[in-house]
Structures are given as C-alpha cells and as structure tokens.
Structure 1
Amino acid sequence: MDNILISGAASGIGAATARLFHQRGWKVGLLDVNAEALARLSAELGNAWFVALDVTDRAAVNEALADFCGKHQGQLRLLFNCAGVLRFGKFEEISLDEHMRILNINVLGLLQLTYLAFGYLKATANAQVINMGSASGLYGTPDMASYSASKFAVRGLTEALDLEWERHGIRVGDLMPPFVRTPMVSSQTFEPPALRRLGVNLAAEDIAEAVWQQSQGAAVHRPISLQFSLLYWLGQITPAPLTRWMMALINRP
C-alpha cells in the first residue's frame, strides 16, 4: 500500500492533503509543530501515525523518518514538504529574526527533511517528492520578499533534484499556487496590493487535489489556477522586462 509523509500537516493544505490521501487508501504520516491539532487529525483519520516536531530539528526529523518508514518496510512512496510560514509586510518593517525564521523553515527545513528521506525514497519504486512552492517563486513579490525568496529556493532545489535524482528513480516536483484560503493567509494583519487585486480564490482542498494529480504525473512545476497558469506560461515565453511590468501592475498600491 502506498504511503505519504506530510510536513505541516496540522492544518490548511497539509491537513486537507492528509484527508484526501487517507480517503483514497494511502497510509498517511503527519508531521507538524502543533501537537494538539495533529492528535485531533490523527484521530479523525483512524489514528494515523504522527509526530510533533520542528522540521529544522535534525535529530527529531531523523528519528521520525526512521519510525514512520520502519513501519513500511523502510520505504517512502511520497514525501510532501508542506511545512512553511509566511509574513506579509514591508521588508524593513519585519524583524530580521522573522525573516530568518521564514528562510529556516521554508528552505532549510525542507532541504533537511528531503535529504534525510533520501535513503527511504531510493528504496521505493516510483518514489516522489512534492514541494510546496508558490506563485511568488516565479517573480519576486513585494511585501513578501523573504517568503518569495524562500520559494525561489524551493523552485531551484526542485529543478536540480528532479534532474539529479532521476538516476535513482525519484521524481521531484513542486506546486505553484497563488493565494490560498488557509489560516496562514487569513491570520495576516497586512494586506499586500497583489492579494487585494487578485483575491483569494483557492481553498486548501484545491491544493490537496493538485497534490494528488502531481502524485500521478511527472510535472516538475504545477502552476495552479487558470489565472496563474496563464501568467506562468506567459512568463516562460516573454522577455523579463515584460514579466516585471506585469508584476508591477499587479502589485501597484
């Protein structure tokens, strides 16, 4: 039976993905810092395996991987790197500690979990890594600079590993949605012009369905929503100045 390990599983996209894959017969593993929410979700999913941890804690991640994969003959069919944090605001008005926290979790935590999972992925037929990217990984987005930078890093890592790990039979891809209706977005106190202009038209369940589609396909990048898909593909064929002009238009006050 296929298994999936999800970081950031306690709420939002991670929780919606856990529910969907559980409904479709997969064995689900849950990781998050929120122990109480994880326990509730685990009970909802028939006592699904879970561990409360910080993805930047190497020892805890290593131990959790060994425990979960050990229950599945040392194999891991799908790793979904969904853990992440976000902060809207003017770059200079956000503390340096908060900028570092965003990069530590969104980039280094993702990199660490992927690195430590390699042996289990390599031992599994049709193994796959799906990273939570973003539309803000296409072009730098004002008022979310460090988050945007983190998603550029995720995009680069995804592209590199998809080529590098092909020899091991491991596919690596990412999802690139615009704004999604999750607690991470709704809890923000600052509204960027891009959010006001584009709106929040996706729910966590929409992204969970995209995770499912990605698990059945081999796309490196999966732009989500017609609106962003058009922008993404336009960005692949138009000169950089035009892409910058479009982003400036979207983000004007």
Structure 2
Amino acid sequence: MDNILITGAASGIGAATARLFHGRGWKVGLLDINHAALASLAAELGGVWHAELDVADAAAVQAALKDFAAEHGGQLRLLFNCAGVLRFGHFESIELAEHARILQINVLGLLQMTHAAFPYLKATANAQVINMGSASGLYGTPHMASYSASKFAVRGLTEALDLEWRRHGIRVGDLMPPFVRTPMVSSQAFEPPALRHLGVNLQAEQIAAAVWQQSQGAAVHRPISGLFKLMYWSAQLSPAWITRAIMGWLSREK
C-alpha cells in the first residue's frame, strides 16, 4: 500500500494534495502547526493519521516520522515537504526575525524532515521526496527576497540529493510553480509588482495534480504553468542577463 506524509497539510496545496491522494487509495499522513485545521481535515478524510508539528523543531520532527512510519511497517513511499511561509514586501521593511523565520521553516524545516525520513525512505521500494519549490527559485525575485533565497536552497538541495540518493533507490524532485491562489498568498498585505503583472492563475488543486504526476514519474524539477515552463526552459538555454531583464521588467514599481 502506497503512503504519503505531507507537511503543511492543513490548508492550501497540502490539503488539496491530501484529498487527491486519499481519494486515489493512498494512506495519508498529515502534519501541520495549525492543529485545529489539521484535525478538521483528518476527520473529513475519515480519521487519517495526523500530528501537530512545527517543522523547525528537530526532536518533534524525529518523533513524527517515527510514529507515522510505525503505522506502515517502517516504510515511507513519499515525503511531500509542503510546509512553508512567505512574506511580500521591501526587504528593509521586513523585520530581520521574520526573514530568519522564513529560512528556518522553508529550508531548515525541510532539511530536518528529509534527514529524519531517510531510513524509512531507504526501506521502501520506489521511494520519493517531493519538495515544494517555486518559480522564484529560478531567479532572485524582488519583494520576496528571503523567500526567493529559501527556494534557491530548496532547488540546490533537491539537485544534490537526487544524485546522492540514487544509490539508495530514492528519487528527489521539486515543483516550481509561479503564484498559487492559497491563503499564504491571499493573506499578504503587500502586492509585489511581479504578482500584479503575472496574476495568480493557479489553484491549489493544480499543484496537487502535479504532485500526483511527480509521484508517478519523477523529474528533478517540475515547472508548472505554460508561461513559467517557457521561462524555465528559456533560462536553461539563454544568457542569464535575459532572465534578469525579464525579472526586472516584471518587478518594476510604479
């Protein structure tokens, strides 16, 4: 029986992914810091395994992985690192502590989850890690500098581990969507020019569908949406200054 453990599962992309995989017969585990919303989703899905978790808490991460894997004979088919935080705004207007929190959750939390999951992934055939990357991991994005930096780190870790863990039969990949209509985006007080120019054209369910595609046929990077796929592949073939020019144009302020 295939199983998936999802961080950031209480809402948005994580919740949409949980519903999709549960509906297709997978055993689902849910992790999130928002216990009330998490418990509500777990009940909706028929009482699936769930636990309140701050991914920045290393000891709690170890315990959560151990508990979930124990329910499945010590195996983990798929870890979806979806937990993340975001803050739009001018870099200097955001408190340093908030920049640090973004890196702590988006990078350190993801690293801790993946490290703790290793023995269970290694014990499982066709095991995978799917990381929640971003289009902002392609080129540094103004007005979300620390978030963009965190997604560069996710991209680098993904590329390195996919090569390193081949010897264990574990695939590692990431999803790279542009803006997605989730509470994390809609709750922002500041609207970056890039968001205004590109719009928010993706729904959480579309990203969940990409997680499913990745689970069936792994890629190191999976760019999402037609426009960003074009930007992504152009960036692989074009001089870096072209990507920089496009980003500068998209991020221009009035």
TM-score range, shorter chain: over 0.9
Q: Which runs of 5+ in 2 are unaligned?
A: none
CA distance in 2, matches of 1:86, 1:125: 34
Residue identity opposite 2:121 in structure 1: L
Q: Report Cα offsets for 1:156-194 as digits up to 9, x if no partner.
A: 000000000000000000000000000000000000000
Counterpart secondary structure, 1:178:
coil
Within-5 A mapping of 1:127-206: 127-206=127-206
Residue identity opposite 1:14 in structure 2: G
The corresponding residue for 2:28 is 28
CA distance in 2, matches of 1:164, 1:147: 26
Residue identity opposite 1:105 in structure 2: I
Q: Report Cα offsets for 1:95-138 as digits up to 9, x if no partner.
A: 00000000000000000000010000000000000000000000
RMSD between superposed Cα atoms in Å: 0.4
Report the Cα offset of residue 252 of structure 1.
Answer: 1.1
Report the Cα offset of residue 201 of structure 1.
Answer: 0.1
Counterpart secondary structure, 1:219:
coil
TM-score if structure 1 supplies the norm length?
1.00
The corresponding residue for 1:230 is 230
Report the Cα offset of residue 241 of structure 1.
Answer: 0.8
Q: Which runs of 5+ in 1 are unaligned?
A: none
Counterpart secondary structure, 2:236:
helix
Counterpart secondary structure, 2:72:
coil
CA distance in 1, matches of 2:221, 2:153: 13
CA distance in 2, matches of 1:63, 1:247: 42
The corresponding residue for 1:244 is 244
CA distance in 1, matches of 2:242, 2:86: 27
Report the Cα offset of residue 218 of structure 1.
Answer: 1.9
The corresponding residue for 1:119 is 119
The corresponding residue for 1:41 is 41
Q: Which moved more, 1:52-61 or 1:73-82?
A: 52-61
| Runs of 4+ residues deviating >2 angstroms | none
The corresponding residue for 1:53 is 53
CA distance in 2, matches of 1:127, 1:197: 38
Residue identity opposite 1:131 in structure 2: N
CA distance in 2, matches of 1:195, 1:53: 30
Q: Report Cα offsets for 1:195-226 as digits up to 9, x if no partner.
A: 00000000000000000000011210000000
Counterpart secondary structure, 1:200:
coil
Could you tell me the percent identity over the aligned residues? 78
